Each structure stands twice: as C-alpha cells, then as structure tokens.
Amino acid sequence: MSAQSVFVAGTDTGIGKTFVSCALLRALRADGLRAVGMKPVASGCEVTPDGLRNDDALALIAASEPRPDYPTCNPFAFVEAVSPHLAAAAERAEVTLAPIEAAHARLAGAADVVVVEGVGGWLAPLSPTLLASGLPQALGLPVILVVGLRLGCLNHAQLTARAILADGCHLLGWIGNAVDPAMDRREDNLATLRRLLPAPCLGVIEHAAEAAAATTALAAAVAAVHALPP
C-alpha cells in the first residue's frame, strides 16, 4: 500500500515549519509508524565534501525512520539563502516537478507516512512557473498549516487558509507554534483562530518547547493523519 503523505505549509518563513515537521515525525513514529521527512526544495545550503547540505533537511532526516538518503530527502538544494527561484537562477538551475515526484515516490515506497515540508509561505516562488503551492497540488497532498503565533497571525493565517482552499487543496488542520513568547493575549488570539480558520487545531507548541513536549502536543495531528483515506 502507498504511504500516507501530508504537506506542512507555513504562514510565513521562519515560523517553525521544520521544528513542527520533526515533532510530527517523532509523534508518528511513537505511534508505531514508519515516518519519513522530505524537504523538496531548500535554499541556504552549506558546501560539504558530500555535496550541498541544508540544516532543515538534515533535521528531517534525523527525525525519520527509516532515514532517507540526502538527495531523496532534498532533491533541489541551493547555496544562497534567498527565495528558491533566485537561488536556483544563480546556479543556472530550475526547480521542476519530475525529480520531486520521483523522490516522493521512493520515500512513500519505504514508509507509512511521508511528511513533506514546504519552503517559505504558500506562494513562495520556486521557479518562474512554479510556486510552493504547486508541490501539494502535484503530489495530491492534504495540508497542515503551521501558524506562527505572533502579532499579525490572524491575518496571515486566514489569507493562507483561503489560498490553500482556493488552490483546491485539502486543509487537514493547523498547528500553532509560539514563536513570540511575549505575544499579548495569546489565548484570545488562539480562540479567534479556532473560530475563524476552516479546519481544526491539531496542536499548540509552546515557545522553546523541548522535543518531547512538542511531540506530545501533536496527538491530534497524528489522529488526523491516521484518519486520511488510503
């Protein structure tokens, strides 16, 4: 049977998609599943003797079981820490879907669940003709939205949720990540998000949470993945 897969999107860059994706991988593994992470496109990579390496992709690999090889986890890796379409152009390259689809198929053949982490926000450009939103569309993946809990999140979360649905994708749910420990009236903002977003809250991760606490906070996300049709 093919693996289940989910796409982890974010309301912005730098709001903890990797941390949440790794916590979700650990939670799925703790539930007895073979869970593997994927970072299809990564800019901001380090040159190493083994090739370009990205910290986010390496974190996903470390949280996976079985652990994928690097090129399968991260088919498109670029040096410059800028928007992927600019980083790719600087290296005379272009992000295309076929290598991503092939890598995802290999991961799905060796796991029960594949957690695919996006890059930037929902409409981040990957090439002149491809946006980040094109990845879950091409792969047919339901989306979990990571909402960075900080001032402005109510607007960003609603806009992103609307865009996800307008693009024909299934919004499985959202996860709040407390990126700003000093956020005013956080609980009121969470209550507002629960009222306004058209999908359930699948967990809230506290600021600077330890890995174990973050993993425990995602029990509802694990249940939502289990409930996906085969």
Q: Name the phi and psi angles at 23, rounded to 5.
A: -65, -40
Residue 164: both structure tokens together: 């996800």
* Cross-strand pairs, 214: none
Reported in sequence order, the residue ranges of the chain that DSSP labels E, i.e. its strands, are 4-10, 35-38, 41-43, 46-48, 51-53, 76-78, 113-117, 125-127, 130-131, 143-148, 171-177, 201-205
DSSP 68: P
CB burial class (10 A; 0-12, 13-18, 19+) of residue 81?
exposed
Residue closest to 19 by CA, chosen among 55, 52, 50: 55
Is residue 17 part of the annotated active site? The answer reads: no
**Residue of 39, 150, 156, 186 marked active site:** 39
Q: Name the phi and psi angles at 111, rounded to 5.
A: -140, 170
C-alpha neighbours within 13 Å on the C-beta side of residue 21: 31
Residue with tokens 């941390």, as numbered in its chain: 19
Active site residues: 39
